[in-house]
A and B are shown apart, each in its own frame.
Chain A
Amino acid sequence: MSRFAQGKGESQAVAGVFGLVGVVAIALAFLNHWLLFGILTWLMMALAMAIGFGPEYRRRAILATIIGIFLAYSALLLLLALLDKPGEELRLILGFPAATAVLVFGIWPIGMVAGLLYGLVFGQSILPEGKLQAFLRRFGRSEPKR
């Protein structure tokens, strides 16, 4: 199996892109491009998820969720920017001005999807029992060592 197929090349690339996106985010902040800075924030969050899931992130359900979270956050940020019109008449959605409602009822709860995904794929992708047992059989310790 090639390094790429094992996820090794990809994990290098994902970590490299993560660092690079951080540098671009600094540049955007200095240029006051807040909208792109926000979208890069969501991109860093998605890349961080991919780093944490390791090669398993390539499973269709996980990859689709990570991309879905990134796209949903980005779309909500754009919607929030479009609705943010402080000079116009107040329009309330569930008690909040429309743009603030996007933050309260969209951006805030959507983070739960990441936690839900973690729980749902735990046994299959995060910690498969067979892998854990093999690891503990080979390396698990009964006495502390350093």
Chain B
Amino acid sequence: MDEAVEHLVRQAQRGDARAFSALIARYERSVLAVAYSAAGDSDRAADAAQEAFLRAWRKLETLKEPQCFGNWLLGIARNVALDAGRKLRRQPTEPLADQQVPIAADPLVGMHQREQSDRIAAALQQLDDLSRSAVVLRYYENLSSREIGQLIGLSPAAVDMRLMRARQQLKEFLGDDQPPSNSSDKGSVGVRML
């Protein structure tokens, strides 16, 4: 963790909300990534991320080592997301339809995008927790192996190994599902698949 972050953490520990706000901006994507890898659903991940930041703010003074803030925060996010998942299993709910497909898009394209999204989500769920976190942090946050290792408590080499195995597993699971050559929002994505 760089010194600027450590400084922000110390300021936030003195009650400086602006410093904590800067920390949110710095870590929000990582927290979302870890929460998503634990929850397996983007809406629950967003809820967990929001809750994790609020808990971190309230408990910030208990953090003895400001240099461990990122690790500490992601631990909170993971726990919140896992708790939410456990609660959900006790009280199952029916998820609402995904709102991502543009209204004007071709229905076939929308359906394909939905299917593809479900397949990738399912593929990610096949991975173990740490590998999934590593994959999401790499592909969403574009973090280096060293940074990922610092955040999830693994050596860079272990991160590389997990990423390599995870990619292999994903490739096997997704089979010949190909990404489109142009933007997925244009509407010509999945017709080939169907």
Q: Do A and B truly interact?
A: no
Q: CB within 8 Å of A: which residues of B?
A: none
Q: CB within 8 Å of B: which residues of A?
A: none
